[in-house]
Amino acid sequence: MTLLAPSAAQAQATGPSCYSRLVNHWVCPDYWQDRGSEIRSATVQHLEITVLAVVLGLAVAVPLALAARRVGWLHNGILGLTTALYTVPSLALLPLLVPFTGLTMTTVVIGLAVYALTILVRALVDGLDSVPADVRDAARGLGYGPVRRLARVELPLAVPVILAGLRVATVSTVALTTVGSLVAYGGLGNLIADGVRTDFRAELLTAAVLCVVLAVVLDLLLVLAGRLVTPWRRG
């Protein structure tokens, strides 16, 4: 994407476009109309990468959290490892993955899932630890085995804490997805990078605002999902 440079005749006849080099407005409806398909495509890609990364992160976080909780000596090691992974700069992590996954969306999804583990593993462990011991004892006394007790008693009671962590992980992943522009799969990050490179104000602001909107919408959806799965907490 580059700024338009209309001819002198066009500028005299209709005036320069609000995203031409002569004007370069921050807010430009002409840009939204002319480049609508590009904006929609970047938004869909951003959403797809975010959802896939969070789902992958959650799929890995669940067994790690269960292992950390069941095996005492693994607890600090797993939490420490996932925290350490979060400190790896994204500018280094994605290039490190490229030799294995190539310049593909998979590279970005795996990288973001690694970052999400820090939040998700800790949220799962804290959520399960928040279940009162007497509740576990009562379930055990009723004949609930470990798996049934986890699925029917512990996880439902841990949902509020787990959901809080999932919300944080999702919103942070929306922001981190933009770094995928390093491998050309950054969704709205591609537009942001181009806007910075070319000083294209309308493109930069539009992509940034859409990132915020996407984060808010996903957060609200998770809040709604939490209310649906925990009806006993309403009111």
Instruction: Say yes or no: 136 and 56 in one domain.
Output: yes
- CA 46 – CA 63 distance, rounded (Å): 27
Cα–Cα distance for residue pair 218/170, rounded to 1 Å: 7
Structural domains counted in the chain? 2
Q: Pick the more confident residue, 137 or 178.
A: 178
> Are residues 105 and 195 both part of a single domain?
yes
Same domain? For 195 and 126 the reply is yes
Looking at the structure, tell me whether residues 15 and 131 fall in a common domain.
no
113 plus 192 within the same structural domain: yes
Query: Does one domain contain both 97 and 213?
Result: yes
Residue 2 lies in a domain: yes
Residue 59 structural domain: 40-230
pLDDT per residue as tens digits for the range 89-136: 888 888 888 888 888 899 999 999 999 999 999 999 988 888 878 878
Q: What is the mean pLDDT of residues 41-52?
A: 94
- Residue 160 included in any domain: yes
Residue 223 belongs to a domain: yes
Average pLDDT, the chain: 84
Q: Assess whether 5 and 78 both reside in one domain.
A: no
Q: According to the model, what pLDDT value does residue 13 have?
A: 45
Task: Read off the pLDDT band of 46 (50, 70, 90).
Answer: very high
Same structural domain for residues 207 and 94?
Answer: yes
175 shares a domain with 106:
yes
Q: Is there a single domain that holds both residue 103 and residue 72? A: yes
Would the pLDDT of 85 be above 70?
A: yes
User: Does residue 176 share a domain with residue 103?
Assistant: yes
Q: Based on the domain organization, do 7 and 88 belong to the same domain? A: no
Enter the pTM of the model.
Answer: 0.85
- 3-state secondary structure string, 204-230? HHHHHHHHHHHHHHHHHHHHHHHHHHC
| Residue type for position 213 | V
Find the CATH number of the domain harbouring 137: 1.10.3720.10
Q: Where is average pLDDT lowest: 41-50, 85-94, 220-229?
A: 85-94
For 169-217, write each residue's pLDDT tens digit. 999 999 999 988 888 888 898 989 888 888 888 888 999 999 999 999 9
In a domain, 235, yes or no: no
The CA-based diameter of the chain, rounded to the nearest angstrom, is 86
